[in-house]
Amino acid sequence: MDSKPDTKVDTEQPLPALSECQTSEDEKASYLIQQDPDADDEYTVSEQRKIIHKVDRRLLILLGCMQAVSFLDRANISNAAVAGMEEALGLEIGNRYSIVLIVFYPLYICLQFPASILVRKVGPRIFLSTIVVLWGVVMICFAFTPSWKILILLRILVGGLEAGCFPSQYYLISSWYSRYDLYKRTSVFYLIGVLGSALSGVLALGFSEMDGLGGRAGWQWIFIMEGIITCLIGVAGYIFMVNFPEQAPEAWGFLTENEGAYIIRRINRDRQDAGLDNFSFRKFLKPALDAKVWAFAMVFLCTTMQAYSIGYFLPVILETEMGYSTSQTQGLSTPPYIIGMILMFVQGWLSDKIRLRYPFLYFNAIINIVGLCLMVWASSAGVEYFGAILVTAGSSANLPAVMVFQANNIRGSWKRAFCSASMIGLGGTGGIVGSLVFRSQDAPKYLPGIYACLTANGLIIAITTVTVAYFLRQNKLAEKGLAVIEGLPSFRYTL
């Protein structure tokens, strides 16, 4: 998808692994010939898996919990709305509810790129734990807002704080794993995150039962209790978070020096981009000229538009369109996300096993289309709810699928940082689009939003098809020695 094949090694981006981390001729040969990441001289395959599982337990669980409270704190506004906040703050008037949703995203999008640079400079442990605690405090403040206008200011502030979370997590995870270890791990991280959305209805139902306690309404207790949970996760992050692989031995109770060196060797055998070269804005911004970076970001935008829209409006649709009571609505908001968690894990495991990515993007887009049609044109509430399950599961599972498809097909630490920010930033734009097309006045069917989501799935299929065709062509040229992909002769695109 670049304007012309890249026929020479990228000399502007040095390969620090070759000069700093590699000493043997066999390792240097991997610059020209792709090596098996499992072919290590020090550790057996069984011992390697134990080291990787150490990373899994320390990295994925904590980052997943941070993402879970992020999703929880985004979804709680819809749960609070059906629990009485809409009437208390007058959000049912005109477009107020949609405005409150949309103001989250401008600052969220604008701060993606600075956050991706800052997390490398400050370190994930301090950076992520700090912003999580801060937005937890802001969430508690939601409970004490006297008007919908103050709610807007708080939503803007949360958007700015959360801007650094998702891209930093995605960047960190993709820096720790070889390409064909990545999908299953990203799925585990993301399914833990989706657990926040899955539990949002159940937690909201439980916390809303505190109505009247301390003179606070049920919807206020939703914000107070979930804000406290967020702060506790942030504190845990400060204690247990790990930084990038080259800093692994510095983490308390984590990897030894030899185990940390093994992780570096493994990444270098796979894609030759362990370590970090010196920062410059030219290096950071250079990937903006690579068309495939924006193709991935556009697919992510189309996916997040659906995922965020369904997350915000599913409780409202269940109550107003399908006729369920408030308590039923809170309970029925959970199963679609549970199905999504199962689907993304199965896809992650299978995709890493067969080493293919694009078929899962097609599959998820197709079940999204089927689900959207059922939500609008089915004749019974049960079938409509099944459609909501398909859309929620398909759009949730598609997010890690796109993330890994991108991560597998780029190289370089600063390119990875830029691509994390561009993808998540454009994903935030998907949240804006979703908030605009799912308008309060279009209830209960929300047909403009449904049509927009159908179009988005068509775009996902079209962009994926073009991208895969380009990757196939470039791989064939590279096999013949007519192109060098991502500045590394041994590198091949993952399909």
For residue 37, is the peptide bond before it cis, meaning its omega torsion is within 30 degrees of 0? no
SS3 string, 363-394, reads HHHHHHHHHHHHHHHCCCHHHHHHHHHHHHHH
Question: Hey, which CATH number is domain 57-243+282-479, 1.20.1250.20, 3.40.640.10, 3.30.420.40, 1.10.287.3510?
Answer: 1.20.1250.20
Residue 327 is encoded by which pair of tokens?
């308590």
Angle at 97 between CA 94 and CA 98, to 5 degrees: 90
Q: Which pLDDT score, from 0 to 100, does residue 384 have?
A: 82
Residue 331's φ and ψ, nearest 5 degrees, are: -70, -40
Q: Which pLDDT score, from 0 to 100, does residue 14 have?
A: 37
Contacts of 353 (CB under 8 A, 6+ apart): none
Q: What is the three-class DSSP state of 485? A: strand
Residue 326 is encoded by which pair of tokens?
């408030």
Q: Which pLDDT score, from 0 to 100, does residue 71 have?
A: 82
CA-based nearest residue to 437, from 419, 425, 450: 450
Q: Which pLDDT score, from 0 to 100, does residue 321 have?
A: 66
Q: What is the three-class DSSP state of 446? A: coil
Distance CA 160, CA 465 (A): 34
Q: Which pLDDT score, from 0 to 100, does residue 27 have?
A: 46
Distance CA 67, CA 400 (A): 13
Q: Which pLDDT score, from 0 to 100, does residue 9 have?
A: 38
Domain limits, the chain: 57-243+282-479
Tell me the residue type at 130. T
Tell me the residue type at 468. V
Contacts of 49 (CB under 8 A, 6+ apart): none
Distance CA 143, CA 270 (A): 49
Give pLDDT tens digits for 281-315.
Answer: 787 788 888 999 999 999 999 998 888 777 666 76
Q: Which pLDDT score, from 0 to 100, does residue 305 have?
A: 86
Structure letter (DSSP) for residue 488 = B
Give pLDDT tens digits for 66-95.
Answer: 999 988 887 788 788 888 888 888 888 888
Q: Which pLDDT score, from 0 to 100, does residue 313 have?
A: 66
Distance CA 447, CA 267 (A): 47
Query: For the chain, what is the largest distance between any 2 Cα atoms, rounded to a whole number of angstroms?
Result: 74
Q: Which pLDDT score, from 0 to 100, does residue 324 have?
A: 73
Residue 301's φ and ψ, nearest 5 degrees, are: -60, -45
Structure letter (DSSP) for residue 145 = -
Radius of gyration of the chain (CA): 23
Residue 351 is encoded by which pair of tokens?
């995709």
CA dihedral 435, 375, 339, 54 (to 10 degrees): -20
Q: Which pLDDT score, from 0 to 100, does residue 130 have?
A: 95
Full-model pTM: 0.80
Other CB atoms within a 10 A radius of the CB of residue 382 amount to 10
Q: Which pLDDT score, from 0 to 100, does residue 463 have?
A: 96
Contacts of 55 (CB under 8 A, 6+ apart): 176, 177, 242, 255, 263
Beta carbons of 282 and 405 less than 8 angstroms apart = no
Residue 488's φ and ψ, nearest 5 degrees, are: -135, 115
Each residue's pLDDT, cut to its tens digit, for the chain (495 residues) gives 544 444 443 433 433 334 334 444 444 444 555 667 777 788 898 999 999 999 999 999 999 999 999 888 877 887 888 888 888 888 888 888 878 888 888 888 888 888 888 888 888 999 999 999 999 999 999 999 988 899 999 999 999 999 888 888 988 998 899 888 989 999 999 888 878 777 777 888 889 889 889 889 989 999 999 999 999 999 999 999 899 888 888 888 888 899 989 998 888 888 877 666 666 778 778 888 899 999 999 999 999 888 877 766 676 667 766 667 767 776 777 788 888 889 989 999 999 999 999 999 999 999 999 999 988 887 787 888 888 889 989 998 999 999 999 989 988 888 888 888 888 888 878 877 877 787 767 777 778 888 999 999 999 999 999 999 999 999 999 988 898 888 888 889 999
